[in-house]
Amino acid sequence: MSYPPQGPLPNRSSLQNSAIFLIVAGFLCGGFLPAIFGIIALVQLDSDPYTAQKMNKVGWIIFWVLLAVFVLAIIAYVVFFVFIFGLATLPILMGG
């Protein structure tokens, strides 16, 4: 069974830089899953550049999703404690 050509090869140097940056950013931001995808992309860079490109793209998507969830969790944490602090100090402010 023959497959149609997949198009031109991805740029090796930009893919390698992106995978290395994904590994570093993944480990520094606490998300090990994006770093693992970056490592897989870096390992498969020579043998299968198309799969490496897909792994790199999936890793970046997971990174940004995890970062968005983290930011939303921080916002929810701040809003929750501002609300609780406001309820706790309301009797004091109202003269009660």
Within-domain flag for 55: yes
**pLDDT tops 60 at residue 18:** yes
Taking only the tens place, the pLDDT of each residue in 1-15 is: 556 666 777 788 999
Amino acid at 40: I
Q: Residue 65: what pLDDT?
A: 93
Q: What is the pTM of this model?
A: 0.79
Number of domains making up the chain: 1
Within-domain flag for 83: no
Q: Residue 5: what pLDDT?
A: 60
Taking only the tens place, the pLDDT of each residue in 60-88 is: 999 999 999 999 999 999 999 888 887 77
Range of the domain at 43: 12-71
Q: Within a 10 A sphere around the Cβ of 56, how many other Cβ atoms?
A: 26
Within-domain flag for 1: no
